[in-house]
Amino acid sequence: MTAANGPPPTKHRKSAKQGRTYLTGMPLLRRAGRPDRDARAFLRILNLATRLRPVEQYSLRELREVWRLTALALSQQPPVARVTEVVIDGPGGPIELRIFTPEHTDQALPAFLWFHGGGFVVGGLDTAESICRSATYHADCISIAVRYRLAPEHDLAAGREDCLAALQWVAEQGATLGVDTTRLAIGGDSAGGNLCAAVAQAAQRQGGAALCLQVLAYPATDLVQEFPSFVENAEGFMITDTLLAQIKHTVAGSFATLDPEDPWLSPRRRRDLRGLPPAVVISAGFDPIRDDGLDYAERLRAAGVPVELLHYAGQFHGFLNFDAVIGAGRDALQRIGDALAAAFSGESIADRTVEISDAESARPSSLYAAAGELTAAGLMTWVATERWSGTLLRQLSPTAAGTTRVLLQPLCLPVSLMRRRLVTRLDQRVACQTYPKT
């Protein structure tokens, strides 16, 4: 079947191990035997920290601040020409937008709106910063982070109303920012992926902005259904069943007046997905909501919507926010940028599944494997400590942070070059297209 007529016919295969039927476009390996090497090092540090102070001991205010600082510290923050903020009128009050612009040009540029993750209760403009910067850097577009209303101060409808209002405002007023309003895309991670899917459906249903792409990073598209990955990845992989239970408790008040089965809240439950914009869907093997995102990708394809499914079988939920220490995060952000650039130039998205994993050495000796683990753990600790220190210093005094960086740069340069070589040597992945077979 040609691209003009839609994706290839969908076929089914049977998983003997799990006794379930899947469409052929799903990853051949949903979950690696163990997390990727840098993910293992990251999770060791994270799990130690949560043992010292369990997540349920944090207040909501503390959780919000910890997540904000963590996202700032462990992300790369690529350079862009200009960062500005505007405030627009929203359905429940002002909505803040942070706008990332590439090099100055007299030509109108396409725009990418990003809805941050955080379980509908944490996150904000700072946690969206690195992903928006990356999209602007790689796709030469204007990226716009949206600060939407969070629970429990507001119900779950409020945030998606804000995101839809932000998209409508950009579609109508974006020219004032230098946006080409005929080339718009949206995206989001986790809870933001839920918002992105819901907003894409609403824009289509209402005849609103015509979107050329939606980017869904490990999206939670169903607030009712619990998938097998919830049990499979319940402990030890960033998002635990304890944290999910805490989030459910925090947002529970919304369901006194809202129906969680309504597609506006659970976009997976919309019966007809035909005509939605093409999608890039990112999934991670060690993610409790992995099967949710895969199921939505499956449903989009069944409705004739092209989907580029990028599956990282050795990664965990949230890895895009940690691209300073997680190589797969850098890889995924580059692929998102490439997909955006292609969509903005009018190219059709490739309807395919690509599985990305560590490039493991063939039958390494136990000594070699131990050395690799130790090196990865050392690098992770080194980089994370350095970035956390710099982030905290910038929060206390940007001037002092800048002065310290200038003074230490000559001393740190040789060490930084050595570290970069080590990271490059360890940071190697293999990407394999498993659908359709080439």
Question: Known catalytic residues?
Answer: 190, 287, 317
Rounded to an integer, what distance in angstroms lies between the CA atom of residue 320 and that of residue 307?
A: 19
Inter-residue contact 36 to 357 (CB < 8 Å): yes
How many beta carbons lie within 10 A of that of residue 130, not counting itself? Answer: 23
Please name the residue that has the structure tokens 């809240």: 265
Whole-number Å distance between alpha carbons of 332 and 215? 11
CA distances from 182 to 78, 146, 344 (A): 26, 20, 9
CA dist 201 to 209, 221, 239, Å?
11, 12, 27
User: What is the separation, in whole angstroms, between the first and last Cα of the chain?
Assistant: 15
Task: Quote the distance between the C-alpha of residue 41 and its chain's center.
Answer: 20
CB 395: neighbour CB atoms within 10 A? 14
HSE-up (13 A, CA, CB side) for residue 214: 32
- Which residues, in sequence order, are CB contacts of 310 under 8 Å at separation 6+? 280, 281, 282, 283, 332, 335, 354, 356
